[in-house]
Amino acid sequence: MDECGESAAKVAKTVHASGENGSSKKPEEHRFTDFEVVKILNENAQSKVVFIEGRFNKADEAEDKKAVVIVEKTALTEDVVRAVLSERSTTQMTIQNDIYHTFQVFPPAEHSALKTTLIYPATNKHIAKYSKQEMFLVQERPEDYEAITKPYIQRAGFSISWVDNILQHKTEADRIVYEDTDPDVGFILLPDMKWDGLQVEDLYLVAIIHRRDVLSLRCLGPQSLPLLRNILHKGTAAISEKYGVKQNKLRIYLHYQPSYYHLHVHFTHLNYDAPGAGVEKAHLLSDVIENIELCADYYQRKTMTFITKEYDGLYKSFVEANRG
């Protein structure tokens, strides 16, 4: 087992020892009927999304159980537009000036849904992740990774039980678009939770590898090339077959730092301005493959620049080491 594999094993051991298994309730039992909003963590008027901290009942308050709810507008599909601009909608004019008219339009109930994501029970890490925070750029040298980042990952004990559930077909099996079951180069491809599946122009899928010993870009080397090429070729072929989107219309990339430390690859449509697709976070898969081909230990030698937030534990670790 390589160094990254050892880190992965330590993370898994820490998570399992904590007994963090998520909510005792099934997702369908959360109806928000007894939900109490504690505070608005953050909101984005441009993307029409709001992040909320709350709890479900007084028992949650006693047990210090928290919830994070993400509420966002769904995509405007052709069906929704046709329903909005029909006699089935209720309209109220707000401004009329010459040829210009502004309306408040209330569409039929079936076309006015809000996409709502629930994280429950939520940890303080979730609360911090979705709170409004100052952002900073960090330059992580190879020695910083060894001295700061890797110990932080091992110490933090991030739960990836939801990833295990997907890989073991315990959850979301019906959403799998493609799977290669090979233990070395295999992966599962499925829609990201950010995509509602309604518009191809907003397409967002993620490939999660079956191997458990590869945490991030820092772990990649020549031994990873068969895995990366397999994801690139079979992932794009599966998306082309199911959605009719060719490779030259896809943005395929990895994050650094990733949101969870189990290697995964993002596939998004070029027309979609996906969160985390900027140069300070996203690394194109084709570039990653070529970089390793040019220099075997590229990602062990490179200084990696990434964006982080003020409440992030990793950022605090860099500040404590005088590297923030």
Q: Which residues are catalytic?
A: 264
Which three-class secondary structure string do you get for the chain? CCHHHHHHHHHHHHHHHHCCCCCCCCHHHCCCCCCEEEEEEEEECCCCEEEEEEECCHHHHHHCCEEEEEEEECCCCHHHHHHHCCCCCEEEEEEEECCEEEEEEECCHHHCCEEEEEEEEECHHHHHHHCCCCEEEEEECHHHHHHHHHHHHHHHCCCCHHHHHHHCCCCCHHHCCEEECCCCCCEEEEECCCCCCCCHHHCEEEEEECCCCCCCHHHCCHHHHHHHHHHHHHHHHHHHHHHCCCHHHEEEEEECCCCCCCCEEEEEECCCCCCCCCCCCEEEHHHHHHHHHHCCCHHHHCCEEEEEECCCHHHHHHHHCCCC
**E strand or H helix at 265, and its extent?**
strand 264-269
Paired tokens of 126: 């979730």
H helix or E strand, kind and range, residue 211: none
The upper half-sphere exposure of residue 283, i.e. CA atoms within 13 Å in the direction of its Cβ, equals 22
- Tokens 């993620």, residue located: 206
* Contact residues for 307 (Cβ-Cβ < 8 A; gap 6+): 135, 136, 137, 138, 278, 280, 281
